[in-house]
Amino acid sequence: MTWRQRLSRWDVKSAPYLYIAPFFLLFALVGLFPLLYTGWVALNKWSLVKGNQGFIGLANFQYVLAQPRFWDGVTNTFSIFLLSSVPQIFLAIGIAAVLNANLRAKTFWRMGVLVPYVVAPVAVSLVFGKLFADESGVVNAILTNIGLDPIGWHSNRFWSHVAIATMVNFRWTGYNTLIFLAAMQAIPNDVIEASIVDGANRWQSFFSVTVPMLRPTIIFVVITSTIGGLQIFDEPRLFDNFSLGGPDREWMTVTMYLYELGWNVQKNLGRSAAVAWLLFLIIVIFALINYAITRRIASSDTRPNRKALVK
């Protein structure tokens, strides 16, 4: 074998690895290294002012897990996550179905749903802060005019979560809508037409053909929404002027508690890093649970019906 043949053979074998190497190098630099370094910081007594003061093992994790505020943050995070992600996915599928129909100026409407996504979170928080103000808010004014009692958006834990979830839904529903719309457009028209020929109306065709074929996209959106929803920070932090998550931490999330430990009074980066790692583990566990549930549902639906086959 000549050196040219050896070079050509090596090129064929190594080229795929060289093509994907930049991604893994970039991931190692901006993803893996910060993750491991945060884990090292979490095992040390690390002050924002004094720096590293020595290895202390799991003491930071023990401190964080013993704090009621950490568990308040976990509860608030999951509450806001459920109030935002669940209706957001249903809304996104519904809007995508409408945009997938034969509309006039469909490009305008499709681009329009993405506008809230490009609006800065600060601007969204300012606008929704006026809507959900306790005494002078637009929503309370409407409720009072129709004879209902005003809502304490900043004093009631549940309603503060509803207001923050509304901000999140406003920003992210359009983004998920475009993902579902792209998946709907990939469904062959023959399949839809065949269901209509078989006697299915539009609703039956949508729920029996379109939605099941969106299953991989739904799994993707659920997992990404879980990852993003559990890291929510901007909207709850900007919900009032004090940025502490409420007087009794009614809407303080885990990420806000992380920031409070590291950059507010304590300035303890070790404890802050411990919160970051605990949040990372929570996200990984719930992402795996979501993946297992959605995959199990998908496999049970695609499994052949033995009774039907026997008949």
Query: Looking at residues 121-127, what average pLDDT do you find?
Result: 88
∠ Cα 262 61 261 (to 5°): 15
Contacts of 253 (CB under 8 A, 6+ apart): 73, 76, 77, 80, 232, 233, 236, 245
For the chain, give the percent of residues with pLDDT over 70: 95
pLDDT attached to residue 80: 93
The total number of residues written for the chain in this structure:
311
pLDDT attached to residue 121: 86
The answer, yes or no, to whether residue 306 has pLDDT greater than 60, is no
pLDDT attached to residue 297: 67
User: How far apart (Å, rounded) are the C-alpha atoms in residues 97 and 52?
Assistant: 54
pTM confidence score: 0.84
User: How far apart (Å, rounded) are the C-alpha atoms in residues 163 and 156?
Assistant: 11
pLDDT tens digits, residue range 230-254?
889 988 998 888 888 888 888 999 9
Give the torsion sign (CA, 113, 119, 121, 122).
negative
H or E element in which residue 54 lies = strand 51-55
- Token readout for 223 is 């997992």
pLDDT tens digits, residue range 14-29?
888 888 899 999 999 9
Are 278 and 230 contacting, i.e. CB atoms less than 8 angstroms apart?
no
Please name the residue that has the structure tokens 């996209």: 217
pLDDT attached to residue 309: 40
Phi/psi for 268 (5° steps) reads: -110, 100
pLDDT attached to residue 14: 84
* Closest by Cα among 166, 180, 170 to 83: 166
User: How far apart (Å, rounded) are the C-alpha atoms in residues 114 and 270?
Assistant: 39
Query: Looking at residues 129-143, what average pLDDT do you find?
Result: 90
User: How far apart (Å, rounded) are the C-alpha atoms in residues 265 and 184?
Assistant: 50
Are 214 and 176 contacting, i.e. CB atoms less than 8 angstroms apart?
no
Chain mean pLDDT for the chain: 87
The answer, yes or no, to whether residue 152 has pLDDT greater than 50, is yes
The answer, yes or no, to whether residue 310 has pLDDT greater than 80, is no
The three state secondary structure string of 271-296 is HHHHHHHHHHHHHHHHHHHHHHHHHH
Are 48 and 267 contacting, i.e. CB atoms less than 8 angstroms apart?
yes
Contacts of 139 (CB under 8 A, 6+ apart): 131, 132, 151, 153
pLDDT attached to residue 189: 85
pLDDT tens digits, residue range 77-93?
999 999 998 999 999 99
SS3 90: helix
Query: Looking at residues 257-266, what average pLDDT do you find?
Result: 89
Domains and CATH numbers, the chain: 3-56 (no CATH), 60-301 (1.10.3720.10)
